[in-house]
């Protein structure tokens, strides 16, 4: 059997497997959908086995496809790492990456990823525009940021969005709060407590209100704030408990605990936003790839915790 795959073939299969969509994978890779399909089909013919299960509703890797995923990902990472080490894109990579991020991703998650990135590329500087959902989209469209981290829901004709993870809303309270002893909290449990929520103009509030309205659940927000720092300040002083996305919560805190809220479980979808047909700088492209990998690990950790 003769196997002659290109790097783009491997990227194509990984993209479809991760995004569960030929359309989104084609947009991300800058290929037409027919060209992407031809590459996948040629790989299947060469290997003599299907790699993807296709239906009118979904696409997913077959058992063989799932086995190949980590192998192909490791091959790509090792090859790219070897090439970068031989060029000035390796440890000599310089420049600045500009990102437009919703504040709930910028407070804890983004700094950890930047710290890891800078351990490999210490000369890369970052400009973080922590903006609301709509403001972030506009800044990317105006080329003020190379790409962004945003909530799915709002759209822009000049931008594409790649979904990455589902981020559940959680309750954050002091360790001496009456709800702190519960493993999981129901929305109905919040009725007799002072609850801190984000303002009505926030994209997170819109997601929450829509989901709770469908479940016929009402929350009487005692405090409404515009900034996460205010929510944490009120919570730390014991004035109430906050409802925030898990991505915005600390992994450890000396005085606060985080609890899952169920019945119903409300999540928002987070994605990477890019200009349609645009291209990223080498530094931004490397950082974007790291974000994909770290988000997959965050998703796995959340699934285990919940």
Nearest in space to 113 (alpha carbons), one of 272, 291, 292:
291
Query: What is the pTM for the complete model shown?
Result: 0.65
Residue 21 is predicted with a pLDDT of 85
- CA distances, 132 to each of 104, 204, 281 (Å): 10, 10, 24
The pLDDT assigned to 183 comes to: 83
**pLDDT, tens only, 265-282:** 999 999 999 998 878 888
pLDDT at 99: 95
Which pLDDT tens digit goes with each residue over 158-209? 899 888 888 999 999 999 999 999 888 999 999 889 999 988 878 888 889 9
Cβ(115)–Cβ(124) under 8 Å? no
Phi, psi of 182 (to 5 degrees): -80, 140
Give the chain's residues under pLDDT 50.
90, 300, 302-306
pLDDT given for residue 237 in this prediction: 95
Q: Domains (ranges, CATH) in the chain?
A: 7-85 (1.10.10.10), 95-164+269-305 (3.40.190.10), 166-268 (3.40.190.10)
What integer pLDDT is reported at residue 80 of this predicted model?
65
Separation of alpha carbons 214 and 105, rounded Å: 26
**Listed residue (154, 171, 150, 196) closest to 246, CA to CA:** 171
Sort strands 241-245 and 159-174 into parallel, antiparallel or unpaired.
antiparallel
- Note the pLDDT of residue 177: 96
pLDDT reported for residue 303:
45
User: Alpha-carbon torsion 213, 214, 216, 217, what sign?
Assistant: negative
What pLDDT shows up at residue 82?
Answer: 63
CB-based contacts of 258, cutoff 8 Å, min separation 6: 170, 171, 172, 246, 249, 250
């Amino acid at each position: 059997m003769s196997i002659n795959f290109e790097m783009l073939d491997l990227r194509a299969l990984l993209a479809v497997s991760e995004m569960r969509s030929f359309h989104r994978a084609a947009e991300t890779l800058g290929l037409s959908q027919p060209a992407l399909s031809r590459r996948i089909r040629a790989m299947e013919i060469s290997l003599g086995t299907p790699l993807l299960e296709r239906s009118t509703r979904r696409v997913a890797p077959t058992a063989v496809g799932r086995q190949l995923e980590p192998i192909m990902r490791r091959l790509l990472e090792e090859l790219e790492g070897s090439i970068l080490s031989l060029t000035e894109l390796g440890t000599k990579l310089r420049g600045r990456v500009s990102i437009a991020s919703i504040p709930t991703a910028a407070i804890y998650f983004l700094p950890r990823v930047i710290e890891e990135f800078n351990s490999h590329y210490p000369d890369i500087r970052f400009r973080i525009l922590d903006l609301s959902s709509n403001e972030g989209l506009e800044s990317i469209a105006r080329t003020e940021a190379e790409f962004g981290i945003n909530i799915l829901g709002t759209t822009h004709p000049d931008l594409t969005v790649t979904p990455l993870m589902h981020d559940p809303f959680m309750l954050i309270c002091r360790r001496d709060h009456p709800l702190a002893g519960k493993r999981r909290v129901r929305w109905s449990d919040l009725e007799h407590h002072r609850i801190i929520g984000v303002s009505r103009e926030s994209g997170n509030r819109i997601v929450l209100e829509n989901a709770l309205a469908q479940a016929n659940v009402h929350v009487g927000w005692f405090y409404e704030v515009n900034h996460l720092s205010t929510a944490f300040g009120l919570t730390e002083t014991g004035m109430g408990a906050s409802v925030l996305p898990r991505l915005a919560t600390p992994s450890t805190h000396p005085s606060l605990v985080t609890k899952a809220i169920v019945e119903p479980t409300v999540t928002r979808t987070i994605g990477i936003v890019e200009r349609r047909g645009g291209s990223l700088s080498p530094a931004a492209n490397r950082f974007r790839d790291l974000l994909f990998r770290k988000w997959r690990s965050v998703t796995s950790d959340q699934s285990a915790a919940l």
